[in-house]
Structure 1
Amino acid sequence: MTSAGDVAALLGRGDDTDLVAVAGQALPIVTAQVRGYTRGRGFSGDQPAADLDTVILTSTARLAANPENLRSEKIGDYEVQRQVVDGWTLPELAILNRYRRRAR
């Protein structure tokens, strides 16, 4: 199962204790979102299937990298555009939808 340290390592900042702390707060939120989206399918107790765990890792990394969900920041001439958490990515949806129960 994904840990906060795994999230920080994915972002190339495995030794950043502040990022690990933020990832630790984001991880249960994203895990609950994945469990809700799949309606619990793909979980064995608290343990997600390996592919769902990958979705949890990547989505948590996006949230931890930009916890304020800012689209951009500008200071003088310096401006940075950030990725915001605005739903699942297409690769994440491809995995999630394999588990999601749908009406027929």
Structure 2
Amino acid sequence: MTTASEVASLLGRGDDTELVAVAGRALPIVTAQVRAYTRDRGFSGDQPAPDLDAVVLTSTARLAANPENLRSEKIGDYEVQRQVIDGWTLPELAILNRYRRRAR
């Protein structure tokens, strides 16, 4: 199961204790979203299948990197465009949809 330290390491900031704390708060949220999307399929107790765990890792990394969900930030002449959380990425959906129950 993904840890907050793994999320921070994926972002190249494994020694950033503040980011590890933010990731730790984001992990249960993202895990709950994955569980809801798959309707608990792919989970054994609290443990997600390895591919679902990868979705938890990547989605948590996006949320931890931009917890305020800002589209852009400008200070003087400096401006940065940020990735916002608008849902799952296509690769994440490819994994999630393998587990999702669908009406026929």
| TM-score, normalisation: structure 2 | 1.00
Count of matched residue pairs: 104
Shift, 1:73, TM fit: 0.2
Q: Which residue in 2 is equivalent to 1:70? A: 70
SS in 2 for 1:13: coil
1:46-100 CA-to-partner distances (Å, cap 9, x unmatched) read 0000000000000000000000000000011100000011100000000000000
Which residue number corresponds to residue 10 of structure 1?
10
Pair 1:81-2:81 in alignment? yes
Give 4+ residue runs of structure 1 displaced > 6 Å after superposition. Answer: none
Alignment root-mean-square deviation, CA: 0.2
Separation in 2 of the partners of 1:69 and 1:3?
21
Aligned equivalents of 1:12, 1:26: Cα separation in 2: 17
Give the partner amino acid of 1:48.
P
Q: Which amino acid aligns with 2:90?
A: L
Unaligned runs of at least 5 residues, structure 2: none
Q: How far has the Cα of 1:2 moved from its partner?
A: 0.2
Aligned match of 1:48: 48
**2:68 is the counterpart of 1:59:** no
Q: Deviations over 1:12-50 (max 9, x none)?
A: 000000000000000000000000000000000000000
State percent identity of aligned pairs.
Answer: 88
Unaligned runs of 5+ in 1: none
Q: Distance in 1 between matches of 2:36 and 2:13?
A: 29
| TM-score, normalised by the number of residues in structure 1 | 1.00
